Amino acid sequence: MPISESVKKDSILIKLIPDIISKYRDNIISIFGIGSYFDDSLPSDWIKSDLDIIVVVKDLEAITKTNWIYNKKYKKIEYRNYKIWIAFNSLDSLHNQEIFEKESFANYKWALIDLKIPQNSKLLYGKEIRNSLPDLNSIPFNYDDILKRSLYHFEKSFQKIDRNESQNEFTKGIFKFVFYLCVFYDNDYCRTSIREITNKLEKLNLSERIERIIINIVNEAIKYRSANEFKTEFTKLRNDFVHYVFILLCNGTLHRKMDFQEIVLFLKDTFGGLVHLIRLAKADNYKCKTLEKELSRYKLWGSLMPEKSFYSNLRKFLSQEGWDILRRAVYKKERYKCHICGIANIQLEAHEKWLYDYDNSIQKLQNIIALCKMCHLNNHLGFSNVLIVEEKLDKKDLIRHWCQVNNKREKEFEVYERKVWKLWDLRNNFTWKIVDHNDNEITHNTKLYDLLKLIAQNYLK
Q: How far is CA 238 from CA 20, 148, 429, in A?
A: 38, 17, 24
Q: Report phi then psi at 2, rounded to 5.
A: -75, 155
pLDDT tens-place string over residues 268-310: 999 999 999 999 888 888 889 889 999 999 999 999 999 888 7
Q: What pLDDT score does 109 carry? A: 97
Question: What is the per-residue pLDDT for 61?
Answer: 86
Mean pLDDT of 417-428: 93
Q: Tens of pLDDT along 208-267?
A: 999 999 999 999 999 999 999 998 899 989 998 998 898 888 878 899 988 777 888 999
Rounded to an integer, what distance in angstroms lies between the CA atom of residue 87 and that of residue 441? 60
The secondary structure element, H or E, covering residue 109 is helix 108-116
Architecture of domain 5-138: 2-Layer Sandwich (3.30)
**pLDDT given at position 449:** 66
Looking at the predicted structure, is the pLDDT value of residue 460 above 50?
no
Arithmetic mean of pLDDT, 392-415? 96
pLDDT tens, 138-188? 999 999 999 999 999 999 999 999 999 999 999 999 999 999 999 999 999
Residue range 89-99: mean pLDDT, rounded: 96
64 to 27, 45, 74, 88, 347: CA distances (angstroms): 12, 38, 11, 11, 82
Q: With cut-offs at 50, 70 and 90, classify the pLDDT of residue 207.
A: very high
SS3 319: coil
Amino acid, res. 301: W
Rounded to whole angstroms, the Cα distance separating 399 from 395 reads 6
Band the pLDDT of 75: cuts 50, 70, 90.
low
What value does the mean pLDDT take over residues 387-396?
96
Q: Is the predicted pLDDT of residue 73 greater than 70, yes or no?
A: no
Check pLDDT > 60 for residue 343.
yes
Q: What percent of the chain has pLDDT over 90?
A: 62
pTM flag (> 0.75): no
What integer pLDDT is reported at residue 133 of this predicted model?
A: 97
| CB contact set of 443 (below 8 Å; sequence gap of 6+) | 317
Domain boundaries, the chain: 5-138, 143-282, 307-460
- The confidence score (pLDDT) of residue 444 equals 67
* Residue 355: CB atoms within 10 Å: 13
Give me the pLDDT at residue 89, please: 93
pLDDT for 311 beyond 60: yes
Residue 69 has pLDDT above 50, yes or no: no
pLDDT surpasses 50 at 70: no
Q: Where are the alpha helices (DSSP H) in 302-447?
A: 314-317, 320-333, 373-379, 381-389, 395-406, 410-427
Q: Choose among 14, 39, 46, 11: nearest CA to 124.
A: 14
